[in-house]
């Protein structure tokens, strides 16, 4: 069925895996999603309706999560980028985590394997705003310490690329992939 339980959208029904043409399409749309289906079809060797059909399927299957405008952080007065480690007492989707996700300055929240900490990516207007955010984070129940790494400059920032990952030999000390 094409349903969802408990509010979490799951992998839709016939999520046939992404083939070479699909990857080409994704590659084009990651660069520019405003392209017409006619041009997209030209780029990947399909008629406009066929290209359209593919894209619809990629949307339905969830391979294309959304189509979004990519905003320049400077234009919206958030030029200061920092990564923040917050040490936490425990794991998981605790209430304090929800509080952290409420801050609009917080772009990403990851939990790190093998450590009781969360890694945040935050953007603020200036160091003062960052300082304020860090204070609030430090006062959050469950947060035992914070360390922040201010980014001096960013050399590369690109979306997930649909290209094929090259195969590389397994290091000798690893017999099996753990993941």
Partner DNA sequence: CATAATGACCGTATGAAATTCAGCATCAAC
Partner DNA sequence: GTTGATGCTGAATTTCATACGGTCATTATG
- Distance CA(98)–CA(108), nearest Å, equals 12
| Strand, helix or coil for residue 73 | coil
Residues 6+ apart with CB under 8 A from 139: none
Considering the complex, state which of residue 4 and residue 126 has its C-beta at the smaller distance from a second copy: 126
Task: Kindly tell me the sign of the dihedral angle through the C-alpha atoms of 15, 62, 96, 159.
Answer: positive
17 near DNA, judged by CB under 7 A: no
Per-residue tokens: 162: 């649909």
Considering the complex, state which of residue 48 and residue 142 has its C-beta at the smaller distance from DNA: 48
Residues 46-105 that bind DNA (CB under 7 A): 46-50, 52-54
Considering the complex, state which of residue 27 and residue 142 has its C-beta at the smaller distance from DNA: 27
Which residues are bridge partners to 121 per DSSP?
Answer: 83, 108
Minimum distance from residue 156 beta carbon to a second copy (Å): 4
14 near DNA, judged by CB under 7 A: yes
Binding partner of residue 174 among DNA, a second copy, none, CB cut-off 5 to 8 Å per kind: a second copy
């Amino acid at each position: 069925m094409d349903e969802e339980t408990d509010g979490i959208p799951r992998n839709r029904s016939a999520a046939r895996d992404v083939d070479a043409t699909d990857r080409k399409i994704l590659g084009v749309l990651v660069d520019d999603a405003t392209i017409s289906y006619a041009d997209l079809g030209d780029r990947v060797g399909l008629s406009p309706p066929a290209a359209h059909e593919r894209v619809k399927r990629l949307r339905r299957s969830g391979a294309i999560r959304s189509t979004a405008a990519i905003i320049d952080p400077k234009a919206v007065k958030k030029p200061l980028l920092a990564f923040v480690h917050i040490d936490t007492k425990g794991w998981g989707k605790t209430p304090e985590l929800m509080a952290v996700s409420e801050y609009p300055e917080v772009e990403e929240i990851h939990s790190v394997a093998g450590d009781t900490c969360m890694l945040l990516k935050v953007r603020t207007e200036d160091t003062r705003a960052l300082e304020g955010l860090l204070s609030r984070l430090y006062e959050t129940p469950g947060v035992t310490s914070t360390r922040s790494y201010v980014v001096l400059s960013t050399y590369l920032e690109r979306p997930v690329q649909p290209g094929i990952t090259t195969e590389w030999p397994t290091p000798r000390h690893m017999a099996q992939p753990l993941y």
